[in-house]
Structure formats: C-alpha cells, structure tokens
Structure 1
Amino acid sequence: MIRGSLLESLATTDFVNFESGQVRPLALSPDGSRLFVTNTPNNTLDIFAVDGAALTPLHTVPVGLEPVAVAARSNNEVWVVNHLSDSISIVDVGAEVPQVVRTLQVGDEPRDIVFAGPQRRRAFITTARRGQNSGYPLEEYREAGLPRADIWVFDSASQDFVFSGKPLTVINLFGDVPRALATNASGSRVYAAVFMSGNGTTTIFNAPEVNAGKPGPDASVHGEPQPATGLIVKYDGQAWRDEAGNDWSERVRLSLPDYDVFTLNANAPVPREIDRASGVGTTLFNMAYNTARQELYVTNFEARNEVRFEGPGTLGSSVRGHIADSRISVIDDNQQVRAVDLNPHVDYSVPQGQGVPAAIKARSLAQPVGIAVSPDGERVYVAAMGSNKVAAIDADALDGSYQPDGGRQVKIPGGGPTGLALDAAGKYLYVLARYNNSVVTVDTSSLQVAGVEVLANPEPAHVVNGRPFLYDATLTSSNGTTACASCHIFGDTDHLAWDLGNPDEEVVPNPLVFTQSGRPEPGATFHPMKGPMTTQTFRGINDSGPMHWRGDRTGSNREVVDGRLESVEAAAFKEFRGAFVGLLGRQSELAEADLQAFTDFALTLVPPPNPLRALDNSLNPSQQLGEQIYFNEVTTGGNLLCNDCHTLDPLRNQFGTGGRVSDEGPGITEDFKVPHFRNLYTKVGMFGLSPNFMAFGNAHQGDQVRGFGYLHDGSMDTLDHFFSAIQFNLAANDERRFAIIDFVMASDSNLAPVVGQQVTLDASSRYPAAAARLDLMIQRALAETERPECDLVAHGVVAGERRGAWLRADGFFHLDSASADPLSVAAIKQLAKQPERAFTFSCVPPGSGKRIALDSDGDGIYNYDQR
C-alpha cells in the first residue's frame, strides 16, 4: 500500500519505524552462560541460554523504545540503553522471571554503555547534550564554543545512585553527538567516539570572489553557466583549500579541531577527559580495544565530500561509486592514528557504472558498524552491514598491508550484520543480523555459520523487505562499496554538505508552485550544477512533498500502484532511480519492483520527538511569543507571515513545509523548496560566517564542533543570523528574534515529546519523584487533544508471571489476562509499591499501546485481546 501520510500509515499498522542504529546489541554474561540481545523493533531484551553454537530462548523482557545497546554488570544485572526513550533499563536477570527493576533518565538519544572504573562498577553512557532529562538551559543552542557530547557516569555503589539515581558526573566533550565506547583491559580507561565528527570541511557562502575563483567547470557541457553557489573547502592542517588546492583561508571564520576519540580516566574520583585523537574518520561507528597490542580499533567512514559532482566526470571530478571509504583506524597509546582502507583492491580510476569484475565486488566490505577482537589479539572481526558479511582480519595486517580475502569473509544469513559478541574462548562469534532481526552463530575456526535464531519482529513486511535497499552496497553499486546509507546514515544524515551537481546533464523546467505567487513561475528552472547542499534526512519525507533541497524530485508523474494513485512523495522518491547509476555507480537502475520496495520502506521513516519541547507539550513564555509572531505578524519584506512559507499544521502533517518553493531573495541565486523544522536542533554547533555574509559575520569564532549549519548548503551558522538577514524585519529586536528561534526550535514533530518517556515505580524511597513522572505520563495519555499524544503501557511481574497493562480512555489499566479486572490508576500504583515488585510505565506512539502491552513476548499473538 502506498502511504500518503503518517496518519494513514498509523491506520494500517501499529508499528512506527525510527530505524535507530544499533551500537552494542549483543552482550554475554560474565560467566558466558547467557546471551543478551537488544531486540530493537520489539522494544525488548531477549535472553538466550548459551551452549557453544546452540542458543536456547529463555526470556523476553520489555524495556524501553528502540533499545540499541546492552552491557552486563554481573551475571544477575544487565543495563539496556533505550535510544528513543532517553533511558536506561536496569534488568534483574537473576530472578526466576527477569524484569526491569529500575529506569534511569539520561540525555537525548543515548547510544552505548560500558562498565569501567573501580571494580567496573561505573556505567559510562553516551548521549547528546540536550533533552528534557538533561537539565541544561534551553537557550544553550545560542552559545558558541560549547562541547555538545555528553558521557553520563553512574556509580552503582554510590549513595546518590542507590537512593536517587543521580549520576556521579556528566563529562562534556568538545564534539557533536557521541556514539561508541570501549575500555582498556583493566577498565581504567574509557574511550568515547563522536558519531559524526566531520572531516574538517565547511561551506564558504557564495560571493563574487568565490564564484570567480572556484575551480572549473563553470558551465555545463551544454554551455549553461553555473549559478552562483557556495564552495566546500577542507582544512589540510595549514590552510582551507578546495579540491583544486586553492587557498580560501581568508574566507573561513571558524576552526574545526576535529576531535574524534576521547580518552577518559575512569578511575579518578570524578572521571574526566585526559586525551584526544583527531583524524580518525568522518563517521565513527564502533570501537574495540586490543589488549595484547595496546591498540584501539575504530570502524568508520571517511567521506569524500570535498570532491565535486556526480555522473561520469566528463568535465572534471566525480564521486560516482566512491562516496566514502570504509575503514578501520588504529590508535596507539600515543594517540597516533593509522587508517586502514578495507577496500584497497578496488580501482576507482576505472569508470564506475560500467561494470566491475564479480571477483572484485565479492571481496568488498561496506559500512563496518561492528567490531570484536579475539582473546589472543591476533584476529579482528568486522561486521560489514552494507556487505552482509563478517570479515576475519589478521591484526598484523592492520599495519597497512591489509588485502581483503573472500575466503575469510562469512556471509550472514538474513543480512545486515550490526553487532558482534565473541565468547571467552574465541570459539563462537554471535552476530545480530538487522535485516531479518536474527542472531547468527559463527564458528570462528571454520568461519561457517553454526546456527540462526530469528527474533520476534513486529515490523510490517514492507519495512523488512525494503530495508536492504538503503544499506546493501552489493545491490546498489557495481563495486560493492557504496549505498544510500553511505550518506544517509541509518536513514538520517551525515551532517555534511556535498556538491553533487552533474555538469553532463541539462537545465530543466521547474514546475513547482511558489509560495509568494501561489503558482509556478514562468522561466523557473533547475540547473544541473546546483552547488553544495547538506545531506537531508529520510525521516519525515513521507509528509514533505517534492524532494531534494530544490524540490527537483518533483513527484509530478504519479502512477497507480495497487489500485491507488500514489502520493507525491512516493513518486518523488522514485525519481532518485538515476542516482543508482549516476552517484552510486551501479550498472543499471533498480528494477521497478525493487524501487517500489525501497520507496515503501523509506516512506515509513519517522523522526523522533522533539527533545527541546516540554514533556507536557506546553510552551514557555518566549516560545509563546514566538508562536504569536509566527502565525499572526508579518515578518518579511514580502508582506508574508512565517507560516505562509513554513506551513506548520500538525493535524495535516505539515511541520514547517507545505511542499512549495520560495524565491530566496538577495544573495541566493537558486529557488528552494521550503524545508521542514523537525531536525533544526541537530544542526547546532557551528558558529562563524564567511566575511560579508549578508553584512555580518566577520569575526573569527574559534573552535567549533561542526562545519555545517543552516540553509541548503550549511553556510549559515546560526538561526540568530538567519533571522537577522535583510529578508526579515527582526534584526533590531533581540527579544522577538529570539522568541521566533525558541518557537521553531521547539516546534511540533510527528510525535509528541512524551513519546518514549519511561519511569519505574517500586516501594523504594525514589517513589515520590517516580510518581510525579508517572502522573505526567498519565495526564498526557488521557489528554483530550486533537492529536493523541501517546498510549501508556505498563510491564511488571505479578505472582511469578509477566504482566502487561494498557491505559484505556476509560482511565483504567487493562491487563493481558482474561481473568484480571481492569485496574484503576491508584490500584496499579499500589500494586507496584509492594515489596519485591516494580512496574515500568512507558509512553509509546499512539495506536501501538495495545500491541506493546498485550503482546509482551512479541510473538504476534495478543495474550488477551480486550477490545
């Protein structure tokens, strides 16, 4: 079925696809007797008994939304990182019926966890520096030079933790959002990697000097002059240069130190940063420490966004078939970095798209998201998600002599391997296969698959079937190294700008409706040399109209699919068919059936709730003033309201765009589709503008954590500068300008901010704070709003049996037992307060409560179907 809106999607399935990237989805108990698996789509921790290659399912424990990492503190206690819930589930796995006994609230979108420090009792957790649980001032997005990567540290032995769940400390690191963690052998050091740390690139805004000095070509092969655009430059250690080596340092007003991996002293009374490494990679996926060699291994992409253009490269350069290098970077104890290319056998000088020998493609490794080291340190295992393989690599070869060997690569049934766990003897490797949600056991001595256990999966068939087309480089490129996920990391963005124009294409008409006139503009065109543009997320494309920054994937040629006229968005997404040849280097476009499967998957991707909006969905005074200005006051010289262009109407699934095009006015020579607002908060961290950019931005702003900010090309550093531009009448009034910024930063998303939030209620002294959080969640679940905010579910163990409950509109919790009467709110609170008992309450997406509460084991069968 073609889905034209999120509401239609929710009407046909109770599953919401966030496509969270798994980081540490597998962990073995210290004694090796059990395997713990984060079942991300099912929101559960799955527990298996381990007997060599044999895995026996034991328990399924409901945790938070989108669990992506797990670590065992002991044989009886496991901590689970819930990416969408901004929480940590502490699970008693020693009980006869394992259950969550405590929930910790942490910063936004936590990703990984390790135990380190004295007796390894300290938990280190990566989060973004934001979110309703973080306690930071909301206005921090206006402050230059701040660290934006947080490591939350909990000491399980401290009184503050035992009685109130407080962290020992939150370590601030000078980077963007962090992802992976690793420890040395003793646990005295913790290593933290910034997820999308960048590669020292930024965009200088177009100006007469820039357009006069940028490398050729300056016109298409057909002679049409290139529009005035910005230019991507890269810092080489001495100067900011374009791909031709021209020095643009005088036009860059920021520094990018590019700190990638941080070393923390885990044993200090208060853990702290003690060292940093740079030049590790652009997108850092995972890490493992080789105790025998005293080396840290980091799997990563190194993006090539400083190279311009897609297509055949007739007039110059092209990234076709070579977007990013898949690598392992080795960091020694002196913080020296050595990068190892995982595909040295591929000759990129051969024109891509014309076929690569099958033997070459078969050896390629794409998107190395998981890594493990053998106990003796002699072998390194890499999970190549984009190649459906795990590679066994000799550690000696990471000195720079590595050559891929197909005989030492294991094809993973189900495809899309993400996580690895190796037993203490190094005999069996357990692999999480994301495409079909299964655990695969590999015998490391023979490098053969020894078993497969398929996990419960609530994902609809179109999600499962379409997912490989995002990641699988063997399907989507001729050399096996490149896929859509090379830039759209886990269906999102890489936070870079790329100049993917194609001088070999022609200027074509722009048929889209303009906001100012309400009609197409005669003579409006799309030039094939469009200049730098930041990578856009797939999340939310289902409700945003034509695609690309300019809307040049117009969706004009809609077709009837399965008896229905497809949406504009579906038709627009299919217009990317040419990118498989022109950008990824495939020999031919995808077959129509495959393109349809990819489309059906991509249009399910949903952004997370806005972490800057209050959990009760209210607005503070500044945001309220911004809302008033936004909807009621003329803010531009064109006599327009903000909402006239950036349409904000959640009931119609419009979150900052109505799909129309805007004439951008002075300084920008192309016309652009009005973009949505939902990921504005993720772009914070660049401060410093090109000289004379719209008459401001001359002062050098020093070190920054990001090289790309706002506008289509990322050249606008802050929304403060954006709203100070001459197109608006807000420059002279700080209060009103900041109010608009505060409002759009906290604007509505597809899901209310309370979605994902959790609390565990028990008989401990933590009860008052937990009860207050639960009251808020109940209020939001029962709120009579035009858009339902969430369903509230509860999970716990009663009389030795796992129970789920769902709060219905009647104000009662209905249990998954035909013999159990519905419980009032007071009754379920009292039940949770009894000794040796805990109930965990979770706000889940509207429409999914019935499944999540009444199908706790994820087998697709409701334990008690209460209609």
Structure 2
Amino acid sequence: MHRSNAASLLLSALLVLSGAGRAVAQTAYEHFESPQVHPARLTPDGTKLLVANTADSRLSVFSLSSPQTPSLLAEIPVGLEPVSVNARTNDEVWVVNHVSDSISIVSLSQGLVVDTLQVGDEPADVVFAGSPQRAFVTVARRNEVRVYDPTTRALVKTIPLQGEHPRALAVSPSGGSVYAAFALSGNRTTIIPANLAPAQPAPTNSSLPPAPDSGLIVDAKDPNWSTVVRYTMPDNDVVEINAGTQTVTRYFSRVGTVNLGLAVQPTTGTLYVANTDARNLVRFEPTLRGHIVDNRVTRITTGSTPSITPVDLNPGLDYSVLPNATAKSTALAQPTDIVFEASGSNAWVASFGTDRVARIDANGNVVARVEVGPSIGSTVNPRTKRGPRGLALHDASGTLYVVNRISNTLSVVSTSTAAVVREVAVGFDPSPTVIRQGRGFLYDAKLSGNGTASCASCHIDADLDQLAWDLGNPGGNMQAVVDPNTGSFSLHPMKGPMTTQTLKGVKGQNPLHWRGDKASFNDFNGAFAALMGGSQLASADMQAYTDFINTVRLSPNPNRNRDDTLPASFSGGDPRAGENTFLTEQFRSGVTCNGCHTATAGGTNRTLIPASVLQEPQDMKTAHLRNLYQKNNFRKTVGATSLGGFGFTHDGALATLDEFLAQPVFGTFSTDPTRRANLTAYLLCFPTGMAPAVGYSRTVSSANASSTAVSSDVTLLEAQARAGKIDLVLKGKVNGVVRGLYYNPLTRVYDVDAAGASSMTWSQLQSSAASGSSLFTLMGVPPGTGVRMGIDRDADGVLDANE
C-alpha cells in the first residue's frame, strides 16, 4: 500500500475506530518472500522447540514435555521476517531478521526482546563457537560473517568472504571451526560477450532467419576461452573459519551452485551440503527440458587434503522420459536443510520442492522418504503444498520437526517409523488468502515432468540465482510484439543468454522479461511444458500464481540513508549529483535517463526499444533499475578475481555500471568520467519502492533510554511515519505489562493494544524505560501494516489485549 501522507493512510486503511480516534484494524499485509535458513532449533536442554514464524514476525516457543506432541507456549514479537533462530542458553535466544537486518535477542522467561543488534543487509543465520564464546552471523548481501561478543553484544570482528550470499552456518564437533555455505555461489560459468562469441548455430526451423548475434555461456576455466576469460573465478561454495582467530582458514569449491543446507557429521566432522547444481552450460530450452538442475547432497571431508563428493538425490533417473509419474513419486527436489542423528550414521534432508523429507546414510544414499503433505506420490496440488524448509531433531525421543514454509505448519515425524505423527500450526498466520493459495505454484517441483525442478530452481525464493541461461529455441517461431508507443517488433526465438530476473516487484511492470515478450506474468505458463517438461496450468491456477507473485515486494536498498535520502558519496561518486544528471541532464539531444528509466515508476517506462537505438543485436524492453546493487560482483579485468560470472544488461556481459555508461549510445555521458561515476553511485542507491526505515528496530531499556542515539532514532522513525514511508510499532514491556503500541501519525501519540487504555507520548515511554519499568522495541514496518502488527494482530477490530 502506498500513500502520500499520513491522513490518506488512516482513511484508507482503518476498518474500525474506537475511543478517541484510535485506529484498531488495518487490512494491509506486505511480504518479501524471505529465505528461511534455520527456522527451527531446540534449546540446549531439549525441553523447548524454537521456530521462526516468518509470516508473523514472531518467535514461536513450543514445550517438548511430550516431544511428539509439541505444545505452543508463546509467540514473541521479533524483527521483520525472521529466518533463523538459535539458543545460546536455555533462556537467551538469538533470532535473525532478514528484512530488519537485525538480531533480536529474546529472553524466554520474560517473553520479550531484551536487545537488538543491527548487523548489516540481509542477515541469514547465527551460531555460537570458540573460547571465549563468540556469536557468528552471516550477512548475506554484504558477503560477510560478523562476530559478536554475546555477553557485551559488541561487534568483535567483520570477516569479508570471497563468495556470494553466505547463509547457512554450522560448527565443527570441537567448536574450533565455523562453516558457512554460499547460497548463490554460482558454478564458475561466465559470459563471452556477443562481439567475441561465435555466431549462433543455424535454426532447425528452416523458415527462420539467421539468429541474432549473442553471447555464449562458458566455464571460466575452459581453455578454449583463455584468451577472453583472463580473470579467475574461484567458485567458493563453503568457507571454513577459525573460531578462535576469526580468520578464514580455507574455501571448498565445486560443491554446488545453490547451497541452502549445511550440517556437520557429529563424529567425523565431515560436512554435508544440501544443494542444487545448475545445468546452464546446456544450451537451448528443448535440450534442457525436464533437466534444469541436479538435486544433491555433497560430502566434504575436512582433513588436510579434503575430498568433495556430490551424491545425486535422484540416482538413475531417466530424464528423457517425460512425463514421468514414477519419478515424481519419489523425486527429491530443492534440498534446503539437513540435520544429523546423534550417532552420525544417518541424516535427514528437507525436499522443499516435493513435500518430502528423506533419510540418508553416511554416504549420502537415500534410505527412506517421508511424505509431509496430503498430495502423496505423483499427485500434485500446489494449493495444499507444505514446503518443508527447516529441520530440528529431538534425538532422544526419535522426533524430527519439519518447518513447512508454505503452509506455515510444523510436521512432527517419528524417526523410528519414518512417518508423520501430527501437524500443528507454527503460530498465527496473517498471510492473506492470495498468498496461501498461490505460493505453492512457485515451488512445486511436481509441476515439472519428473518432479525435479520448479520455477524456484532458478528464481531462488522468487529472486535471483545470479546466473544466465540460454533458453532459445532453434525450432521455434518468430514472435510479434506490439508496443503502443514504439511500434511493432519481431523477436527471434534464439534469444541467446539472459540473466535470471527477480520475480519481486513485478506488479505494474508489464510487459515482462528482458525483451518484453511476455505481456503479463500469466504468459509464462508455457514454461511449465516447454522448459519443465510438465503441462501448462489451468487458467485459474495460473491466475492464482500471478496474483501471488504480484504481492511479493523488493526489500529496501541498503545503500540509501535511513531517512530515504541519498548519501553524500558512494562507490567513488556523488549520488545526489548523479540523481540530478539522471533526472534532468541530456546525454543526447532531447534524451535523459529518466525519459525511459522513469524514476517514479520503478526505473522503467516499460516500453520496447529498437535494436538500432540501443546499438545492440536485439530489441529490448527498458529494464527496471531497482536491484542493480545486487549485481555488482562481476570483475573481468585482466588478473581480477571475480565472485560472479555475470553482471549488468540482459546477458550480464558488462561488469560495472561505469562500463555500461561508457557505451557510445550514452552520448556525452560516455566520455565524461565524473558524470559516469555520479550516475553509478546513484544507480547503486536507486529506490526499490520500500523505504530503508522499514524493519529498522531499536530496543529501549534503562541503560539507553536517555541516550542521544535512542532520541535520534525515535525522531527519525516518527518523522518517517508522518511522511508515510513507514508505520511505527512498539512491542515489549510497558509499565510492567507486555504490550503492543502503534504510533498514530495524526495525533503523534502511541495507541495501546487495550480498549480504553490511554495513549502514551514518547516522553512518557522514555521516562518509563529510564526508570526500569519498561523494556520495549520500536520498529518501522511497511506502510499500512502498523495497526495490525502493533495492536490488532488478526485485524478483527478487537485489540490484542482484549482478545
């Protein structure tokens, strides 16, 4: 929901008014499809199960007094979109909040957050290791692990990593080593630019004209291209960190392309990585059909001479048979988590794509499968899909807990019988029906011909895999596309390599795809048959899928200031000057950047541009600019070490935005390095449509209530709420009672979650915290969601304290 001022928010979002103009309910729900990493863990004594309720931004606490009948004890508000949880003690729990960029430190005995650490963009997981003990946190978007003193909560060290998107963490049996898996590590593939690549082969459809020039996807170590690929790609997949010195010991390569799960065998210390391996070196959609990725567990011995052994989770599958109901009945797709039994002889793997968990032996061989959803065998129903994402094991009772991301439930599995004994809700789920009904279509691998791949095999959690794919079709047909502004276009089916685009924020961006060849998201339906080897969806199902995708939002750009202004300098340029250049200055007569990449419309006017104007081989749609900051890890200068193999533009051939802006098509800008530097800085800070204060949290206690830092944060958050960029909520203990509050931007006071209770000013809240009577956390949340998240959780008009 967007708004221009606070008044329009309240008028459009309120369902009911009570008392002195107090808002009591809103309908808005925003979600970001954040990737759960370790959403479930036990307390050290095994008496409680801790689960991240990502949908409701809470920590669910279950009693395990009867392990196979977990009982929900508490639902504790934490930061925005929690994805991982870990208990440091039986009372102190650290919760990783993906959108809030924070760690919520929770006291179970008090039932609230007692401290908040701001840890950097898109944190993913936390573990405790070393002597003295330290907390290790993966900061995925920054490619870092940050180390904290868990007692003082001070930052001890930041460890930069040579790998893309570190998420899952694990600790060696001795506690001396910490391991992190790079979720989007790539597979050493890169692009040969079109001007250096050989011509595409002749079409097999004789009626087609010759294919347009395009780039070529290659292995960066292919000796045939050593004169072009003069940079190195280490393809680091897992890193080992010395817990004592907090330094990188070594990297492990050639493990997998997308590495989502990581576990350590408890007796040998061998690493097991749940991963998919992309087959993007295979050219053309008909050749890839039904076999897009391999689903694997890779074993890594950790001795002085490590060995790396991938094990296929679907051994012997005949990918040429499509459709293949027999394969669907047993297929394991997109493994996301792995957990070992205490003996180390067996482990359990979550198959997110096919609603199964599998038991594997120490060699990685599948010895049992458990169906966790109602659509068993080859039966498929994405609307009832569970989506097993995270695992926790109560070894003493032989109980496996499976967190189902899509249904937001917990499946309880008996390891002795390899069967589900019950399924319970993780907690309250505020997700609207459109999300619940449509999410499964993104992830259900049974929609493919053999159960091995889904849309999310490439669009990881509705986002990127940081790869390019050549999904052209030599036997296809020309496609006519008409743009009402720029005319008719005829697009060749052999389109060449195209980098994976995010599915986040696509609402209002039609037509879609790099060439604008999809009038709407519904037009991707053909991929279920042509690429995945299954059948197209029924129109109602495809519409449900489209409706779901249209709800997924981009996260805030971390490069912007907290108040949504531009920094004075960034990446060697002045983004404020760059914004002025972008909006007003002409690089050719009558042409500005903003003329096509409209800043107010997400960075695109959605028109198709002729190849002659672009000075490229093909016509292209004006691309949006909102996630350029996520594509900045490709380096192709001679001797460089590059984490990624693809950068900017449709095929990823340009390593930097400066290289892009230096093209002759940009006229006077192309020869002006200062303008290019400023434009680069601005584009890397380009707004995503979600303000940076969304998710930002500050815990206020007697120790800091009177501090300048807290006052500054409150001033900023309240101003952002009045400007309509965020809503502001407060959760915690207020005057000795656990409460929720909502900052009303019209009255400028905090409304309380109890009918008849007096609203509070910030001065009153601050004084109460300073005296020790209150301990609470303030958090910016998406516009339109504040009343629900603050004081009326189920949006039914009855305030939370009166339920």
Normalising by structure 2, we get a TM-score of 0.91
Partner of 2:634: 686
Partner of 2:276: 301
Q: Quick one: which of 627, 630, 637 aligns to 2:579? A: 627
Once the two structures are superposed, residues 242-295 of structure 1 have per-residue CA deviations (whole angstroms, 9 ceiling, x without a partner) of xxxxx2221223211111111011123xx1111110001111101000022321
Q: Quick one: which of 385, 388, 404 aligns to 2:352? A: 385
The change in CA–CA distance for 1:543 and 1:365 in structure 2 (over 3 A counts) is same
Q: CA deviation at 1:409?
A: 2.7
The change in CA–CA distance for 1:705 and 1:48 in structure 2 (over 3 A counts) is same
The change in CA–CA distance for 1:221 and 1:374 in structure 2 (over 3 A counts) is farther
Q: SS in structure 2 opposite 1:54?
A: coil
Partner of 1:152: 146
Once the two structures are superposed, residues 311-352 of structure 1 have per-residue CA deviations (whole angstroms, 9 ceiling, x without a partner) of 3xxxxxx111111111111110133211011111311233x3
Partner of 1:228: 213
Structure 1 residue 195 and structure 2 residue 183: aligned?
yes
The change in CA–CA distance for 1:310 and 1:860 in structure 2 (over 3 A counts) is farther
Distance 1:117 1:70 in 2: 19
The change in CA–CA distance for 1:771 and 1:424 in structure 2 (over 3 A counts) is farther
Structure 1 residue 33 and structure 2 residue 47: aligned?
yes
Partner of 1:137: none
Q: Quick one: which of 237, 253, 257 aligns to 1:260? A: 237
Structure 1 residue 581 and structure 2 residue 529: aligned?
yes
Distance 2:176 2:709 in 1: 33
Contact 2:734 2:775 (C-alpha < 8 Å) held by counterparts = no
Partner of 2:595: 644
Q: Quick one: which of 752, 755, 762 aligns to 1:815? A: 752
Contact 1:82 1:110 (C-alpha < 8 Å) held by counterparts = yes
The change in CA–CA distance for 1:862 and 1:251 in structure 2 (over 3 A counts) is farther
Structure 1 residue 833 and structure 2 residue 800: aligned?
no
The change in CA–CA distance for 1:493 and 1:478 in structure 2 (over 3 A counts) is same
Once the two structures are superposed, residues 465-507 of structure 1 have per-residue CA deviations (whole angstroms, 9 ceiling, x without a partner) of 1111100111x11200011001000011101000001112101
Contact 1:310 1:582 (C-alpha < 8 Å) held by counterparts = yes
Q: Quick one: which of 311, 323, 332 aligns to 1:365? A: 332
Contact 1:102 1:760 (C-alpha < 8 Å) held by counterparts = yes
Normalising by structure 1, we get a TM-score of 0.85
The change in CA–CA distance for 1:801 and 1:109 in structure 2 (over 3 A counts) is same
Partner of 2:370: 409
Q: Give the percent of matched residue pairs that are identical in Structure 1 and Structure 2.
A: 40
Q: CA deviation at 1:185?
A: 1.4
Partner of 1:803: 739
Contact 1:793 1:805 (C-alpha < 8 Å) held by counterparts = yes
Q: CA deviation at 1:426?
A: 5.9
Partner of 1:668: 616
Q: SS in structure 2 opposite 1:682?
A: helix
Letter in 2 for 1:422: L
Partner of 1:494: 465
Letter in 1 for 2:285: E
Contact 2:627 2:688 (C-alpha < 8 Å) held by counterparts = no
Q: CA deviation at 1:218?
A: 4.8
Contact 1:220 1:529 (C-alpha < 8 Å) held by counterparts = no
Structure 1 residue 754 and structure 2 residue 693: aligned?
yes
Letter in 2 for 1:550: R
Query: Where do 1:553-592 residues align within 5 Å?
Result: 553-554=518-519, 572-586=520-534, 588-592=535-539
Q: SS in structure 1 opposite 2:160?
A: strand
Distance 1:827 1:428 in 2: 48
Partner of 1:779: 719
Contact 1:180 1:286 (C-alpha < 8 Å) held by counterparts = yes
Query: Where do 1:310-329 residues align within 5 Å?
Result: 310-311=285-286, 318-329=287-298
RMSD: 2.1
Partner of 1:702: 640
Q: SS in structure 2 opposite 1:210?
A: coil
Contact 1:458 1:860 (C-alpha < 8 Å) held by counterparts = no
Letter in 2 for 1:739: N
Contact 2:297 2:310 (C-alpha < 8 Å) held by counterparts = yes
Partner of 1:696: none
Contact 2:27 2:788 (C-alpha < 8 Å) held by counterparts = no
Letter in 2 for 1:251: V
Q: CA deviation at 1:716?
A: 0.6
Letter in 1 for 2:701: D
Q: Quick one: which of 443, 447, 457 aligns to 1:471? A: 443
Contact 1:388 1:416 (C-alpha < 8 Å) held by counterparts = yes
Contact 2:788 2:795 (C-alpha < 8 Å) held by counterparts = no
Structure 1 residue 109 and structure 2 residue 76: aligned?
no
Distance 2:396 2:12 in 1: 47
Q: SS in structure 2 opposite 1:511?
A: strand
Q: CA deviation at 1:865?
A: 10
Partner of 2:6: none
Q: Quick one: which of 183, 187, 197 aligns to 1:210? A: 197
Distance 1:629 1:262 in 2: 41
Once the two structures are superposed, residues 494-541 of structure 1 have per-residue CA deviations (whole angstroms, 9 ceiling, x without a partner) of 01000001112101222124xxxx3314xx211100000000010011
Q: CA deviation at 1:411?
A: 2.7
Partner of 2:571: none
The change in CA–CA distance for 1:409 and 1:449 in structure 2 (over 3 A counts) is closer
Contact 2:732 2:776 (C-alpha < 8 Å) held by counterparts = yes
Deviates more, 1:19-28 or 1:666-675: 666-675
Distance 2:781 2:204 in 1: 52
Contact 2:208 2:478 (C-alpha < 8 Å) held by counterparts = no
Letter in 2 for 1:712: H
Q: Quick one: which of 71, 75, 89 aligns to 1:56? A: 71
Distance 2:774 2:731 in 1: 11
Distance 1:823 1:127 in 2: 36
Partner of 2:710: 770
The change in CA–CA distance for 1:129 and 1:511 in structure 2 (over 3 A counts) is closer
The change in CA–CA distance for 1:502 and 1:218 in structure 2 (over 3 A counts) is closer
Q: CA deviation at 1:129?
A: 5.5
Q: CA deviation at 1:372?
A: 0.5
Once the two structures are superposed, residues 177-209 of structure 1 have per-residue CA deviations (whole angstroms, 9 ceiling, x without a partner) of 2111100112111001111001011111112x5
Contact 1:392 1:408 (C-alpha < 8 Å) held by counterparts = yes
Structure 1 residue 610 and structure 2 residue 546: aligned?
no
Letter in 1 for 2:390: G
Distance 1:9 1:333 in 2: 58
Distance 2:664 2:795 in 1: 58
Partner of 1:736: 675
Runs of 5+ in structure 1 lacking a partner?
Answer: 1-6, 131-148, 241-246, 312-317, 555-571, 689-698
Partner of 1:548: 513
Q: SS in structure 1 opposite 2:45?
A: coil
Partner of 1:141: none
Distance 1:776 1:824 in 2: 16
Distance 1:15 1:614 in 2: 25
Distance 2:598 2:12 in 1: 21
Contact 2:140 2:167 (C-alpha < 8 Å) held by counterparts = no
Letter in 1 for 2:661: F
Q: SS in structure 1 opposite 2:338?
A: strand
Q: Quick one: which of 123, 130, 136 aligns to 1:124? A: 136
Query: Where do 1:372-451 residues align within 5 Å?
Result: 372-395=339-362, 397-398=363-364, 402=365, 404=366, 408-412=369-373, 415-425=386-396, 427-451=398-422
Distance 1:841 1:73 in 2: 24
Partner of 2:684: 745
Structure 1 residue 721 and structure 2 residue 674: aligned?
no
The change in CA–CA distance for 1:320 and 1:781 in structure 2 (over 3 A counts) is same
Q: CA deviation at 1:740?
A: 1.2
The change in CA–CA distance for 1:673 and 1:457 in structure 2 (over 3 A counts) is same
Distance 1:255 1:293 in 2: 33
Letter in 2 for 1:298: V
Q: Quick one: which of 69, 89, 99 aligns to 1:84? A: 99
Partner of 1:485: 456
Contact 2:41 2:50 (C-alpha < 8 Å) held by counterparts = yes
